[in-house]
Amino acid sequence: MSLVNIIRSAFLPIIQLSERWAKSRRPKGVSIELNQRRIFIFPTAMGWGYLLLCLVLYLVAINYQNNLIHAFSFLLIALGVLTIHYTFLNLSGLCITGIRGGNGYAGEMIEFQLRVSAKNRRSYENVMLQWKDQEDSHHFYLDRGEDKLCSVYAKSEQRGLFRPEALLIATRYPFGLLRAWSWIELDISSVVYPKPLKGDFPEHSKGDSDGEHEHQNRGDDFAGLEQYQPGISTKHIAWKQFAQGRGLLVKNYLGQESKQVWLCWDQWPSLSVEKRLSVIAYWVKELEKKSIVYGVEMPNLIIHPDGGPEHSEKVLTALALFGLPDNHV
């Protein structure tokens, strides 16, 4: 066991106690305003060097009774004290609001949109936002009376609801001598879909035998317009004719037929639950790219055939939350 591990083990109870104390002080909510009780401030490595320089100059001035060095050391000390004030003000009064969490696949970087604003009339310089235990960070500047949308990314690990634990807000303005920071817990989440895994194409699909619609829409030759029927992808809607008041029509092309496809749970019996979800997610992406109408049949869940981004999001969300408790994070 290394010396670092030995020291860490010895101080582990103190570290855990301090982490619990800090976590209990974190404000929680959809919108949080930073104030004096929520902001911490401490010297950086450069700040400690600056403090040492002030001390050395002061001792030299006393030793040599030099008024010029006295004045210079007092000037540096005064600048250091002013830095504390301005570093604190560069966070105080900021209001952070969680807007929305973007959806994505497991293992991807998930975007979270935050709104940064301030009720006062100050401007803010070089403030950093970063989720806990994440490498990606976002820096912003805020002018007086301005609201700004910021995108902060966090890497997802597994499917389900993803709620980042805490958001770090920090600044070293104006000279980098001090670091002011705060931790907040925003009520914001995103849905993480199963990571797509290429698998065998479904062995069968349900078509007209089940009383469902088949249509030609993948060829190159335009064959005319037909009435829209439920299940046809919205990509083929004739929007120009719709704007003219002719009703909801779809463009029909001669060529390759596109039939409804069912992604059924029992079509991959040899795969585990997670792999089945990943394979279905893969074929949802592929079928959506090809504008093929598809439905999903899973234990205790049937999603009827349809197409378009909304249908795709509905299916992927169902896959992401399948078999998870309501309070899963």
pTM over 0.85: no
pLDDT digits (tens, 9 = 90+) for 41-69: 999 999 999 999 999 999 999 988 888 99
**CA 170 to centroid of chain Cα atoms:** 18
pLDDT at residue 257, as a whole number: 47
pLDDT digits (tens, 9 = 90+) for 82-134: 999 999 999 999 999 999 999 999 999 999 999 999 888 889 999 999 998 88
pLDDT digits (tens, 9 = 90+) for 207-247: 443 434 444 444 455 556 667 666 566 667 777 777 777 77
